[in-house]
Each structure stands twice: as C-alpha cells, then as structure tokens.
Amino acid sequence: AVKQLWGDGDHMAEIDDMMAEQKAIHGEKAKSICDLFRDKAVRWQLITLFLVASCMQLIGVNVVYFYAYNVFKKAGIPPAQTHYVSLGIGVTEILSTILCVSGSSAEFHSAVMRVSFLSLEATDSFSWVPYCSVALIFIFIMSFGIGPAGVLCPLPTEIFIQSYRPAAYVFNGVTNWIQLFILGLLFPFIV
C-alpha cells in the first residue's frame, strides 16, 4: 500500500515509524474530546493547535474575504458579476495551495500595499486604485494559499498520536469555525 501511494523507493523508515506507533498504542481506542481535554500529556499539543488556529484567523485572509465585495463594488464590478470574481478568488486559492511554495512575504507585502491603497481610495483622486485593490486581494489570497494555508490541516496528524487524532481534528474544526464566527461578527464594527 505504501509503494502504491508513494511509488517505488525505500520507505522502510516510514513503515518502521508506523509499526512503532501501532505497537506503542497497543490497540488503544480512539479518545473522545473530553479525554483530549482531561489528559495532561497532550495539553501542549492542544494549546499549540489552538494557537495556530487563532493565528490563522489573525493573518487576515477571512477579513479579506469579508471585505472583498466592497472592493469589487468600488472597482466598478456590477453586483451581479461579483460572484464570478469571488469564484476566481476561490480558484486562485486552490491553485496556489496546489503550487504551495513560500508565500508569506508576498502576503505581507500585498497587505501593506492594500492598506496604502485604502488611503488613496479615500481621496478619489486616482481612478486606477480600485483595480489595484482587486489585484491585491487576488495576490493576498494566492500568497495565503502558497504560504500558511497548508499548515492547519495536517497539524493534528503531526503532533498527536493515533488515538487522539480524531478528537484533535474535531477540536481543530470547532475552534476554527467559532473563531471565524466571532471574526464575522466583529469585523463590521472594526471597519
């Protein structure tokens, strides 16, 4: 199965790791969410998972998604056509995730430029600024997909043993959605 998944090559080190983990848990059943919170042995992994999920929300990609419609409207894209631009953003994120190189620097620079363009938009002096803002949203989303987007999903697999992984994935998903909900409620007030 490993050869079929990863192709030909020497995969004995990975197989040995799997066998050692299987032997270490010795038929232990999957842990529940309550077990995850009670067990002090996985406390730091749980805190790490929570902090990484929180930082992913603070990166600002979801805020860009929330704010994108206003940018599109200001750029003169008719409201009936904005769903096509939103679809383009989604495709951009998928493609950038597939390419997955290092994008944190581009993400930072596009965010800084976007803030600069916000002040220019307020003056209405430059007609090209809204179009640059639309392009910067695409660059920011692409940079997020290339950079930090791929961190959160595999993290529970990397830091939890097999018996805790299902509960860790549930915790990860619930944490992420609750934080997104809070961000969605607070963002209009922040704007």
Q: Does residue 117 form part of some domain? A: yes
Q: Does residue 16 form part of some domain? A: no
Q: Does residue 73 form part of some domain? A: yes
pLDDT tens figures, 50-70:
998 888 888 777 777 777 787
Q: Does residue 13 form part of some domain? A: no
Range of the domain at 88: 32-189
With a cut of 90, say whether residue 45 has pLDDT above it: yes
Q: Does residue 132 form part of some domain? A: yes
User: How far is residue 113's CA from residue 91's CA, in Å, rounded to a whole number?
Assistant: 23
CATH number, residue 99: 1.20.1250.20
User: How far is residue 176's CA from residue 152's CA, in Å, rounded to a whole number?
Assistant: 10
The number of folded domains in the chain is 1
User: How far is residue 76's CA from residue 78's CA, in Å, rounded to a whole number?
Assistant: 6
Q: Does residue 12 form part of some domain? A: no
Higher pLDDT, 102 or 154: 154
Q: Does residue 175 form part of some domain? A: yes
With a cut of 70, say whether residue 120 has pLDDT above it: no
Q: What is the pTM for the complete model shown?
A: 0.61
Give the per-residue SS3 of 72-103.
HHHCCCCHHHHHHHHHHHHHHHHHHHHHCCCC
With tokens 């959160």, the residue in question is: 152
Q: Does residue 56 form part of some domain? A: yes
pLDDT tens figures, 160-188:
888 888 999 999 989 988 988 888 888 77
